[in-house]
Amino acid sequence: MTPTPSDLIPLIVITGFLGSGKTTLLRKLLTTDLGGETAVLINELGEIGIDHLLVGEIAPDTVLLKSGCVCCSIRGDLKDALIQLFSRRQKEEIPRFRRIILETTGLADPAPIFATVLADPMLRHHFSLGVIIAVVDSFNASLHEQLHPEWMAQVTSADRLILTKTDLVPEQNRETLRKHLRKINPTAVIVTNAEVKEGDPLLLSAGLHEDSPESEAERWIRNFTHPIRQQDDRADVHKGHEDSEHPDVNSFCLVFDRQIDWTAFGLWLSMLLNRHGRSILRVKGILNLSGSAYPIAIHGVQHLVHPPVHLSGWPDSDRRSRIVFIVRGIERDAVERSLNTFCRYLGSSSF
Amino acid sequence: MCALCGLLGTERDWSSSMASSLPMRQQRFLRIAQANRILGFFRLTLEDFQGVSYVLSSPTGRREIVSDFGQLWPVAETLVGRPIDPLDPALLTWLSSIPQ
């Protein structure tokens, strides 16, 4: 039987460079009394500055925090850590948490985490992927971007971008950075660290796997409807964020008036991701399918696609299919022409 | 399991996980027919195998079992010996020239 969204425990991922403020963010999210609803997976218990929140060790590598949350360090691989945590929860050795936050190491690319959860036959029946939060150090953003390709992977795969150290950066540069991030990843919600509330539901979210995925889809739509004005952006690009740093990372939104045939679309996207998975950093979209009154939401990171989610209604009055691609070195026209051809000549109506 | 056609619904690929009004076996044949339109460009043929997997055949007689649609394109590329690219203009021209 297929598990319903509420049976699955969402795995929320926090990425960001060393010193970018991941722990500060985590501390903020965990200080409120969440009644033991959250389990945190980190790499080293010693490294994280949560000592003052600590109550005591309840199992090997696992500590209990004042808020009732459990915090567990990963020994070995992520899969083992998740399975162990799940089985302790079932045996009631630890509180019955409702979500897991995974804090990655600084130079991590979130795509392999996805692969672990989506592909593993055991994990995918117990866990779903929640939002990916990328912490961006405003002060060092352009430096990180230049030096580490992982920065781009983190920013493009994020659902929420948290800007930290904004007080160290002049107002004008903050705005430039925001625009730059919006251009790279138009689908993410961008907030500053100061705007994050304790136990913020925007961050502690299962994303599309919430009981009502419509609100997440609405967030995407809101961002889609602000078209990315590339030329405007280029005009006020600050020195630190020249386009030449990543000459080919680009995002675009394809809009389709015709209803889309799911089988043709599925064949097309799996074919495209098989060949260009490395260059397609993110796909997010809402589709109007032929034979269905309600839309579905799809999203994928690199060559991995989440199982599509049925929405119970349209987020706005627009009934067109809208798909956002964040790509590296792939032309918008080529993708649009290809999808149009596939839908027109493969659609089930043509049989 | 689909009570009408006895299929277990074991496919793990993301694109198979959509609910459809069609019985599973009919849905399966529709997907195979659509995939064959694309594969025709590479002279490959896809057939159903016992309702649980697929067999992909090349014109020279090479055959490979494909467990689900997620596996189709990597296996097809091995059989053809070159990349299969949906953005390839020649493939798109071929698709639009197939009689409806």
Say yes or no for a CB contact (<8 Å) between A276 and B14: no
Supply the pLDDT for residue A117: 83
Q: Does B95 touch chain A (CB under 8 A)?
A: yes
Interface contact flag, B83 A307, Cβ < 8 Å: no
Q: Does the residue B14 lie in any domain?
A: no
Of residues B25 and A264, more confidently modeled: A264
CB pair distance less than 8 Å for B17 and A266: no
- B51: in domain: yes
Mutation test of the interface with chain B: which of A267, A272, A288, A344, choosing the one with the most B Cβ atoms within 10 A?
A267
| Nearest CA-CA partner of A189 in A145, A264, A123, A134 | A134
Tell me whether residue B5 is in a domain.
no
In a domain, B8, yes or no: no
Q: What is the pLDDT of residue B33?
A: 92
Q: Is B18 contained in some domain?
A: no
Amino acid A351: pLDDT: 46
- What distance in Å separates residue A162's CA from the closest CA in chain B? 30
CA distance B98 to B92: 10
B92/A341 touch (CB, cutoff 8 Å), yes or no: yes
In this predicted structure, what is the pLDDT of residue B35? 93
Looking at residue A119, its amino acid is A
Q: Are A264 and A346 in contact (CB under 8 A)?
A: yes
Q: Which of A274, A307, A341 sits opposite B95 (nearest CB)?
A: A341
CB contact set of A285 (below 8 Å; sequence gap of 6+): A297, A298, A299, A321, A322, A323, A324
Check CB contact of B22 with chain A, cutoff 8 Å.
Answer: no
Asked if A351's CB is within 8 angstroms of B30's CB, the reply is yes
B17 lies in a domain?
Answer: no
SS3 track for A34-71: CCCCEEEEECCCCCCCCHHHEEEEEECCEEEECCCCEE
Q: How many domains does chain B have?
A: 1
Whether B92 and A271 lie within 8 Å, measured CB to CB: no
Q: What domain range includes position B46?
A: 23-97
Number of cross-chain residue pairs from A and B with Cβ atoms under 8 Å apart: 89
Q: So what's the pLDDT on residue A234? A: 39
Q: In the block, which residue shows the tokens 């051809």?
A: A341
A341: nearest CB among B27, B77, B96: B96
Residue A238's SS3 state is coil
> d(Cα B36, Cα A104) in Å, to the nearest integer?
43
* B6 lies in some domain: no
Per-residue pLDDT of chain A in tens (351 residues, 90 and over written 9):
455 556 789 999 998 888 888 888 888 887 775 667 888 887 765 555 555 555 556 666 676 666 666 776 666 678 888 888 888 888 888 888 888 888 887 767 788 888 888 878 788 888 888 899 999 999 988 888 888 888 888 898 899 999 999 889 898 999 999 999 988 888 889 999 888 887 788 888 878 777 778 888 877 777 665 544 443 443 333 333 334 445 578 888 899 888 898 889 999 999 999 999 888 988 988 999 888 888 899 988 887 888 888 888 888 888 889 998 989 889 999 999 999 999 888 875 544
Residues of A (324-343) whose Cβ lies below 8 Å from B:
330, 334-335, 337-338, 341-342
Q: Compute the average pLDDT of residues B33-49.
A: 94
Nearest CA in chain B to A272: B86
The helix (H) or strand (E) run that includes residue A231 is helix A230-235
Q: How far is CA A33 from the centre of its chain?
A: 25
- ipTM > 0.85, yes or no: yes
Question: Which chain B residues touch A275 with a CB distance below 8 Å?
Answer: 73, 83-87
Question: What pTM was computed for the model?
Answer: 0.81
Domain membership of residue B56 (yes or no) is yes
Phi, psi for A104 (deg, rounded to 5): -90, 170
Tell me what pLDDT residue A39 has. Answer: 85
